[in-house]
Amino acid sequence: MRYSAFTVIKQALTGHKDWKPAWRDPEPRSEYDVIIIGGGGHGLATAYYLAKEHGITNVAVLEKGWIGGGNVGRNTTIIRSNYLLPGNEPFYELSMKLWENLEQDFNYNAMVSQRGILNLSHSDPQQDAYARRGNAMQLAGADSVLLDKAGVEKLCPFLDFDNARFPIKGGLWQPRAGTVRHDAVAWGYARGADTRGVDIIQNCEVTGFLMENGQCLGVETSRGTIKAKKVAVAVAGSSSRVMAKAGMRLPIESHVLQAFVSEGLKPIIPGVVTFGAGHFYVSQSDKGGLVFGGDIDGYNTYAQRGNLPTVEDVCEGGMALMPMIGRARLLRMWGGVMDMSMDGSPYIDKTHVEGLYFNGGWCYGGFKATPASGWCYAHLVATGQPHPVATEYRLDRFVSGKMIDEKGVGAQPNLH
């Protein structure tokens, strides 16, 4: 069923009795052309673009829990393409262009809201760095506006401009950035893939890989053996655990990132605002809650919850940026497990095993990348060649020395 204003009115007049489930609940078949492990945003987007752009529809998405139950449901919903390096920026700009047309494309309301992102600068060198970043963004076709202090004041008069330690000097504003209803992204891609014939199989945990002569021939699952010509892994957060079953060690550590929502407030924050002297970012949901976050906790963990010192640190960042946030009460908080890669950038690559592909290492920037990640991963799986904007996301880049060190601080698994 195609969703439209007409179908909503028609259903309203007939008591909403004819709505169908948005996707099927099929039994796994014994063989597929492509198996995608992981029914999160990236896995479902990959299935959708495999079917839609490459005509490969004999595909199964295997999910150990329910789809969209991992990080696509646990993020702060921000989309942006304000990266610096040539290995990153064209990829994220492709993602931004896909976001802009996503709802029409998959006929689902994902509430894509291009309300802008403002990165604040607090020193002259930082303002210079933002000027450079803004230029790099424009070279890749993205939009950016360098604001002086007066420009920031006009946009966000509520910030602490009198902060003696971290005065606000200006900021980098990307008007096309924004927020998206995150769960709807998973559901929209799932429905779009399912409509085109992809089997979405939930409660089906992969327990091992079928390997023969250095080739991957399928997977063992909690619901039996499933053969496939190609197996594509997209399980960020659990990448090391899954790939260990294929005998691989990855340049990844798992860390927890916490996020927070305040009680509902009247509209106050115009877009997304980030503090440039600490680590704090905030936006306001359509329900009015302030959605914010900061640093990862900083130790290896697979528990989807963090500890209190980080909560304190994030709230201190908020108080330094906009003291009025101290009047808001925290409503809820949660944690998600992040694949922290060794240079802060992701992987979309083949592995040394024929027929086995890997997508992961998204650190805590995976949500904004969802459409481009699916697009480029589908391209890699379908054609065997990396997509032109994702050629640098190689698993072996630490051997060759071609890191994508966006932050410029070297090999650390605790970067963005």
Partner 1 sequence: MIINHPLLGPRDASEFVYLGDAALMKRPDWQADDAAQQFYEYLYLRDNIAGQHRELWYHEQGDRSWLVVTRNTETHEITAVELARDVATREGHAV
Which residues here bind partner 1, judged by CB under 8 A?
A: 240-241, 244, 249-254, 298-303, 307, 309, 342, 398-399, 411, 413
- Output 195 or 301, the one with its CB closest to partner 1: 301
Q: Which is nearer to partner 1, 334 or 398 (CB)?
A: 398
Please, what is the minimum distance in Å from the beta carbon of residue 45 to partner 1?
25
Q: How far is the CB of 236 from partner 1 (least distance, A)?
A: 13
Q: Which is nearer to partner 1, 119 or 240 (CB)?
A: 240
Report, in Å, the least distance between residue 413 CB and partner 1: 7
CB of 320 vs partner 1, minimal distance in Å = 18
What stretch of H or E contains 335?
A: strand 330-341
b/e code 249-281 from CB counts within 10 Å (16+ = b): ebbbbbbbbbbbbbeebeeebebbbbbbbbebb
Closest approach of Cβ 346 to partner 1, in Å?
15
Question: Coil, strand or helix: which one is 212?
Answer: strand
Residue 154 or 249 with smaller CB distance to partner 1: 249
- Any bridge partners for residue 8, and if so which? none
Residue 277 tokens read as 């002297």
CB of 12 or CB of 308, closer to partner 1: 308
DSSP H or E segment with residue 104: helix 102-106
Q: Of 118, 390, 116, 155, which is closest to residue 268 (Cα–Cα)?
A: 155
218 neighbors 34 (Cβ within 8 angstroms): no
Q: How far apart are CB 356 and partner 1 at their closest, in Å? A: 17
Element (H, E) at 379: helix 370-383
Q: 74 vs 368, which CB is nearer to partner 1? A: 74
Q: Are 1 and 7 in contact (CB under 8 A)?
A: yes
Determine the residue type at 246: A
**Calpha distance 283→76 (Å, rounded):** 8
Measured CA to CA, the distance from residue 372 to residue 387 in angstroms comes to: 10
Q: Which residue has the tokens 């890699």?
A: 380
Q: What DSSP designation does 205 have?
A: -
Nearer to partner 1, 12 or 399 (CB): 399
Residue 254 CB, nearest approach to partner 1 (Å): 6
